[in-house]
Chain A
């Protein structure tokens, strides 16, 4: 059953029903308390100040104290409950989304940039959570409206009707006034975000700018963007000011009308002086719950839009379906592809014997990527089969396959944490040292202030490209999987180190199957056998030396 936006929203709120209910009830109590304050002021004027009755004064001040205690208490705990519901719901969505993105069957990233997914897990999750607060606030505002309305009708039916029927058109007018403003402020926010984006972008590229001396051009570009943003902002701020001024006038005139009608009623003796004060106070008060209602409505609309985005991520179809079998143990590590068509692969057949170090050479990066995706079961071939120890990969659970087959992409990410922690992410601690030596990552550690315990920040971007590659390779080797697929593991590594790494890989993978997709002669020289692919299918096979001497295209590809 596909997940839809409203399911996400409903689940977020019902999942927190206790907090949402408590929040709504208490916030309603708070609204009622706020509505009572002007009523009590009116009563003090009527019963105590007009009559000069000190006892009545003391009584009504005590009532006022109770009202304040009640509204203060309900605000405090009502807000907390509602906010807890909101934060909790957002948190749960965030964790659920992360789980979906990282699911072994994949598929959630298709067509989405990482930044987009992160924004769904933070901004959108927060907005859906905020719908819980909006719900509580909206219910409370309704309560305030009802309480205030009843009070007003009790003072005087015509006055009450005047206020209750007068407020909706007033708010409608405000809404109409605000319409063009909304459009302008949207445009303004876009421009402002753009200006701040340009600044951050230029700073992020600071080294590049400095390298070619383009600082002045960059300053000029930022200044232009900033001025454009300023023009939009000033226009929007002016519109906002006139909107606010208009609202001030409208509410002022409204209060004047209430005072006129109320005053006339009072002079005729229909209502008391205190009741007149109450009516004016309530007329002012009632504007608030109504505007809260329209705010809550807006929040809900945003929450719905965010919930739809979350639902589309949660419901994204997995990249590979079917196959839940466990792996026959022990894994020998025989890989066989026959007639595989996927992406750039055009009927590729390939075989790696248990314990073999097989080189795969292709001039087309798309072929390499497609091959890696099939071997890691990130995708299933459209036709043909890929087998591990004679079992088709499509019959196996993807998570199971990755126990036996580790695919190390050349642009694999490192994670925040110590260098050692990265290397042992999927390995026993003892595996770290030999793996780091084999990948020459021990030299990387030596160059860092705390050696292998140094914390890598910014996803390892604090290291140079070559250092990063060596740490990633050490991680792949440390995992000691029965089958390891390496893709261009040393492109950013200098020639001397690369030779050392080639020997290290050979030694570390002794007796285990390794498929190395690369074009570096230093790496290919240590392989048992090389398959040369062209146009998505195998065109030649032999040792590196045989191919270099016997195949002109091969020589051009690896030694160019």
Chain B
């Protein structure tokens, strides 16, 4: 049997990080971190599970399938054992020849060879498909639980870690584990079985064969240790370099027109070249390491094979075994080359997959402890269902109450700071009557977005209180009364923390647009899964998007998003507002939800926003004063404090801060 060539193409396909999923090349842009407040250096990455937690999680996943797993394994053992009969039968043929038997004597053992081949084939196929069914099922459960946990992570925690952390766990780690479990694990299991049973077979031929075959083991152990010590950091560095190259290409190619406008072509080609060169150098270092690894294993093969041959020589000379037995032992050892190399070559894949698994289980731990303490539907607000946590498996069936009452929002004495000593809000008081529309105006950095997030329940106030419809939102004292719903981080069987199955009371729509990949109608149904086609059309109509949506190539069934039809920023923002209409929350915060559309699009969006928030208590963070001018009331925020409150006319007459802004905005005289 050949050794290196058989594994090399496979190694190439499974090994290098450069073989990343095609999907990852599609330029996913992780969302913006919280505007301007923190950068990479003070990020607190999501936790990674300990070895004990990982083991517990694996046990938890495997527990329900123990019997089936044992059955599949037993079938594989039988298949391997039968396959190993080939060598002694061949040895028997050799003995028959050596003893000068007639040609007809060969027929019987050769028939046995064919029977062995058939049985081995059937058993291997059944065993492998049994194990694969199990493994795939466990994998699916694992990834579903993980995605569920990830989606239920408190937003504050995700922002603290940077969204890239979670995205890379969802994409890279999940696919790493999937590929390992799908390709590496079965190969490893079969190779290990072959290895173990072949050694048993050699021992049955003569225990001394086994003894000398084991001479190769110290070489192999040493080689694997030598390799993993170098390979793990090298491949990690290689993944980073490939990621950087990808980022650079995305930035450069995505910004091609900017590159041309500022004549940066030479510089950017240079940047791509540098990053690509770095990735290539690391890839070649990886290749060098791998080839040295297999070269060293060749040495172990040689030592083992010559030892078995010498032992055969000695035993045959001493009359202890026949030539056929010696031949069988040599054939056995030669056929071990491939499985041994598979096992040893997969060592680093396994290590990487274990690390990825720990990162997934680590996220599960966070949810357990801090589950959903933030976006809580306010108790006492008789608008949401009596769903119990954990009952939201599958599409949630939510009894939607008829038009919930718009609640009053009361903010009193609220302070907040992202970094100690740098307060962003300094004692904000604000009252919004039920159904009222209040515009929040102020310079950048005045704390508008922060106040918006506090009211929407994304952050908790440092001091002071916020009540919505008479119910107080969780405050600084760490009111985590709901977090008990989480459960034990070591137990993957956590009940799905139900949380806000029917959405928060105060919805938040920001300037961040994201169009979910899939048919347009499905995107909207995320806001209300049971919405009829009529509901969806009505929501689009309300925000003035029905005309263009129906004009799409496949109408409302057009696949939109990253890999589908690209929508303009204004269209994407209209979708966000249509989702809001479907979700139908009694109160809403719009944080510059019309900002990124360009001036012409802004007007369309302002009309859409006005329609979407009709009948709800609304706080609108406005950067265009025309949007503020039509609000019921305007609150001017300055350096973390409320500077002015009043209607547009009152504030313009008062001649204060707002009047100045309005002057600058509407001033028609040349400066």
Q: How large is the interface on A (under 10, 10 to 19, 20 to 34, 35 or more residues)?
A: 35 or more
Report if A128 contacts B (CB, 8 A): no
In the bound complex, what is the Cα–Cα distance between A211 and B625 (angstroms)? 24
Q: A115, A197, A527: which contacts B27 (Cβ < 8 A)?
A: A115
| Stretch from A151-159, A160-168, A226-234, A323-331 contacting the other chain | A226-234
- Does A553 make an interface contact (CB < 8 A)? no
The answer on a CB contact under 8 Å between B287 and A83 is yes
Residue of B nearest to A148 (CB): B2
Distance between Cα atoms of A65 and B601 in the complex (Å) = 77
In chain A between 104 and 159, which residues have their CB closer than 8 angstroms to a CB of chain B?
104, 106, 108-109, 113-115, 117-119, 121-123, 126, 130, 133, 137, 140-141, 144
Q: Tell me, yes or no, whether B504 is within 8 Å of chain A by CB.
A: yes
Q: Check: B481 CB closer than 8 A to any chain A CB.
A: no
With A95-B272, A238-B129 as given contacts, are A267 and B101 in contact (CB-CB < 8 Å)? yes
B263/A455 in contact, CB under 8 A: no
Residues 171-193 of chain A: 1 if any B CB is under 8 Å from the residue's CB, otherwise 0? Answer: 00000000000000000000011
Distance in angstroms from B613 CB to nearest chain A CB is: 13
| Interchain nearest-CB distance for A316 vs B (Å) | 12
Contacts of B558 in A (CB 8 A): none
A192 to chain B, nearest CB (A): 7
Nearest B-chain residue to A526, judged by Cβ: B671
Report Cα–Cα, A427/B389, bound state, in Å. Answer: 58
A521–B665 CB distance below 8 A: yes
Q: Which B63-108 residues have a C-beta within 8 angstroms of A? A: 83, 86, 90, 93-94, 96-98, 100-103, 105-107
- Is A425 in the interface zone, CB < 8 Å from B? yes
Q: Is the CB of B9 within 8 A of A464?
A: no
Q: Let me know if A288 and B6 touch, CB within 8 A.
A: yes
Contact A545 B171, CB 8 Å, known A237-B133, A256-B117, A459-B254: no
Q: Confirm or deny: A333 has a beta carbon within 8 angstroms of a beta carbon on chain B.
A: no
> Are A91 and B277 in touch, CB under 8 angstroms?
yes
- Decide: A196 near B21, CB < 8 A? Known: A227-B140, A252-B118: yes
In the complex, chain B residues 224-269 whose Cβ is within 8 Å of any chain A Cβ: 245-265, 267-269
| Bound Cα distance A144, B5 (Å) | 11
Complex contact B120–A213 (CB within 8 A): no
Chain B residues near A548: list those with CB within 8 A. 668
Other-chain contact of B151, A91, A202, A378 (Cβ < 8 Å): A202
Are B136 and A94 interface neighbours, CB within 8 A?
no
- Shortest CB–CB separation between residue B528 and chain A, in angstroms? 8
Contact of B517 among A198, A406, A457 (CB under 8 A): A198
Expressed in whole angstroms, the minimum distance between the Cβ of B328 and any Cβ of chain A is 10
Question: Cβ of A448 < 8 Å from any Cβ of B?
Answer: yes
B280 lies within 8 A of A52 (CB) = no
A70 shortest CB reach to chain B, Å: 10
- Write out the residue numbers on chain B whose beta carbons fall within 8 Å of the beta carbon of A240: 128, 132
A30–B5 contact, CB under 8 A?
yes
Within 8 A of A (CB), among B597-645: 597-603, 623-626
Among A95, A226, A449, A543, which residue has its beta carbon within 8 angstroms of that of B273?
Answer: A95
The answer, yes or no, to whether B326 is at the interface (CB within 8 Å) is: yes
Interface residue ranges of B151-195 to A (CB < 8 Å): 151-153, 155, 158, 163-164, 166-167, 170-171, 174-175, 178, 182
CA distance A211 to B182 in the complex (A): 36
State the CA gap A252–B40 with chains docked (Å): 58
A304 within 8 A of B: no
Q: Which residues of A contact B260 (CB under 8 A)?
A: 102, 104, 106, 376, 378, 398, 402
Cβ A202 vs Cβ B113 within 8 A: no
Q: Is A559 an interface residue (CB 8 A)?
A: yes
A215, B151: Cβ atoms closer than 8 Å: yes
B301 within 8 A of A: yes
> Does A525 lie within 8 Å of B667, measured CB to CB?
yes
Question: Nearest chain-A residue to B623 (Cβ)?
Answer: A494
Q: Which of A71, A267, A415, A449 touches B38 (beta carbons < 8 Å)? A: A449
What's the least CB distance linking A119 to chain B, in Å?
4
Which residues of B have CB within 8 Å of A3?
none
Question: If A99-B269, A114-B253 touch, does A219 touch B392 (CB 8 Å cutoff)?
Answer: yes
**Smallest CB separation, B98 vs chain A (Å):** 5
**B46-54, B468-476, B493-501, B540-548: which lies at the interface:** B493-501
Of the candidates B143, B276, B331, the one whose C-beta lies within 8 Å of that of A91 is B276
Contacts between chains A and B (CB distance < 8 A), count: 644
Q: Which residues of B contact A454 (CB under 8 A)?
A: 39
Contacts of A264 in B (CB 8 A): 103, 106
Task: Give chain A interface residues in 56-79, CB to chain B under 8 Å.
Answer: 57, 61, 64-65, 68, 71-73, 75-77, 79
Stretch of B308-316, B404-412, B425-433 with 4 or more beta carbons under 8 angstroms from chain A = B308-316
Q: Are A199 and B5 in contact (CB under 8 A)?
A: no
User: How many whole Å from A515's CB to the nearest CB in chain B?
Assistant: 14
Contact A122–B249 (Cβ < 8 Å) = yes
Complex: chain A residue closest to B338, CB-CB:
A288
Residues of chain A lying within 8 A (CB to CB) of residue B23: 193, 196-197, 200
Q: Tell me if B170 and A464 are in contact (CB < 8 A).
A: no
CB of B276 within 8 A of CB of A94, answer: yes
Q: With A64-B306, A526-B670 in contact, is A399–B501 under 8 Å at CB?
A: no
Min Cβ gap A359→B in Å is 11
Q: Is B1 an interface residue (CB 8 A)?
A: yes
Contacts of A289 in B (CB 8 A): 2, 5
Task: Tell whether A252 pairs with B166 under 8 Å between CB atoms, given A94-B276, A119-B22, A462-B33.
Answer: no
CA distance A414 to B252 in the complex (A): 10
Most chain A Cβ neighbours within 10 Å, of B4, B132, B312, B625: B4
CA distance A444 to B126 in the complex (A): 64
Choose, from A8-16, A38-46, A334-342, A345-353, the stretch at the interface: A38-46
Distance in angstroms between the alpha carbons of A79 and B529 in the assembled complex: 54
Which residues of B sit under 8 angstroms from A207, Cβ to Cβ?
Answer: 31, 155, 510, 512, 514
Closest approach, in angstroms, between the C-beta of B82 and any C-beta of chain A?
Answer: 10
Question: B592 contacts which chain A residues (CB < 8 A)?
Answer: 465-466, 492
The 6 closest A-B pairs by CB, nearest first: A252-B117, A213-B503, A245-B125, A249-B121, A413-B255, A464-B35
Q: A213-B500, A255-B86, A449-B38 known; 19 other A-B pairs, CB under 8 Å?
A: A61-B306, A76-B291, A76-B295, A104-B263, A199-B170, A200-B171, A204-B30, A204-B163, A211-B508, A212-B580, A222-B148, A248-B117, A267-B101, A267-B105, A276-B94, A292-B9, A462-B39, A464-B32, A521-B665
Q: What are 29 A-to-B residue pairs whose CB atoms are below 8 Å?
A: A45-B323, A52-B316, A68-B299, A73-B295, A76-B294, A79-B290, A108-B256, A114-B253, A115-B250, A144-B5, A199-B147, A201-B516, A203-B170, A207-B510, A208-B509, A222-B144, A226-B147, A244-B128, A246-B121, A250-B117, A267-B106, A376-B260, A402-B261, A457-B164, A465-B511, A467-B36, A488-B598, A491-B595, A496-B443
